[in-house]
Amino acid sequence: MPKRVDPDARRAQVADAVIDEIADHGLRSVTLARISARSGLAIGSIRHYFGDNLREVMSFTLGVLLRRAEHRSPGLSGDPATRLSDLVVLVAPTSGQERKENVALVEYRVMARTDPQFATEVATTSVAAAEVIRSLLREALADRLIDEEALHREALLLLTLVEGFSFGSALTSASLQEPDVRAVVTGTLHRMREAYPPRGETPAERLGT
């Protein structure tokens, strides 16, 4: 009796082949023939799961990349500041596979500038990420006197830090080191907390008198 083929596993296999191709040669190098060579699947098999449509393959792969980035965290600390630090470390590409996926995602984000379909998917994820960072930062600074405008700027700083890790990693051949990423994020959060006085502190205490 022939072994049953799992369609989801086959589609994931195709996505991994696309990611490898993009990481090595760029997004525009992807063809059905190259996907076939990397995945070990016949072009006919790829068409069976995606139709004769490279665009569908590319869209599916983008979805895989976004889901993997979103679900990279198995569990976060109960402390808000540590949880935020953990999140940034988990998002930053600190392994070979994560770096490869990050390179592919950066390629998609560049293409999204002129591609409406990709732009919508990337923008939706970017907005969601910004909201998560803002929400966690609000919790981490809940015991500090900080207004909404300042909170917005600090959240923007953290988001820029995440973007810097992502794009910087895509431009180098080596993966980021987790201890380095954590030290940068922890130091940034410490400076943020020190910049704002604790809630309930009197004006004289703020002046150090």
Report residue 7's pLDDT band, with 50, 70 and 90 as the boundaries. confident
- pLDDT tens-digit map of 170-196: 888 878 899 999 999 999 999 999 999
According to the model, what pLDDT value does residue 142 have? 93
Contact in structure between 139 and 195 (CB atoms under 8 Å): no
Dist CA 143 CA 13 (whole Å): 47
For residue 10, how many other CB atoms are within 10 A of its CB?
17
Residue 101 has pLDDT above 50, yes or no: yes
Dist CA 87 CA 76 (whole Å): 7
The answer on 92 and 190 residing in a single domain is yes
The answer on 46 and 146 residing in a single domain is no
- Enumerate residues 6+ apart whose C-beta is below 8 A from 104: 18, 19, 22, 23, 27, 61, 65
Is the residue at 1 inside a domain?
A: no
Residue 66 has pLDDT above 50, yes or no: yes
The answer on 126 and 144 residing in a single domain is yes
More confident position, 130 or 69: 130
Is the residue at 105 inside a domain?
A: yes
According to the model, what pLDDT value does residue 206 have? 53
Average pLDDT of the chain is 87
Dist CA 170 CA 99 (whole Å): 7
Is the residue at 78 inside a domain?
A: yes
Q: Among 90, 63, 94, 65, which residue's Cα sits nearest to residue 75? A: 90
What CATH number should be reported for the domain holding residue 14?
1.10.10
| % pLDDT > 70, the chain | 91
Mean pLDDT over residues 88-97, rounded? Answer: 86
Report residue 209's pLDDT band, with 50, 70 and 90 as the boundaries. very low
Mean pLDDT over residues 108-131, rounded? Answer: 88
The answer on 78 and 57 residing in a single domain is no
Report residue 208's pLDDT band, with 50, 70 and 90 as the boundaries. low
For residue 150, how many other CB atoms are within 10 A of its CB?
15
Dist CA 48 CA 51 (whole Å): 6
According to the model, what pLDDT value does residue 57 have? 93
Mean pLDDT over residues 28-33, rounded? Answer: 93
Residue 158 has pLDDT above 90, yes or no: yes
* Domains in the chain, number: 2
Range of the structural domain that residue 44 is part of: 7-66
Dist CA 112 CA 105 (whole Å): 10
Residue 97 has pLDDT above 50, yes or no: yes
Dist CA 145 CA 160 (whole Å): 23
Report residue 1's pLDDT band, with 50, 70 and 90 as the boundaries. very low
Mean pLDDT over residues 102-130, rounded? Answer: 89
Is the residue at 2 inside a domain?
A: no
Considering the entire predicted model, what is its pTM?
Answer: 0.80
The answer on 18 and 87 residing in a single domain is no
| % pLDDT > 90, the chain | 52
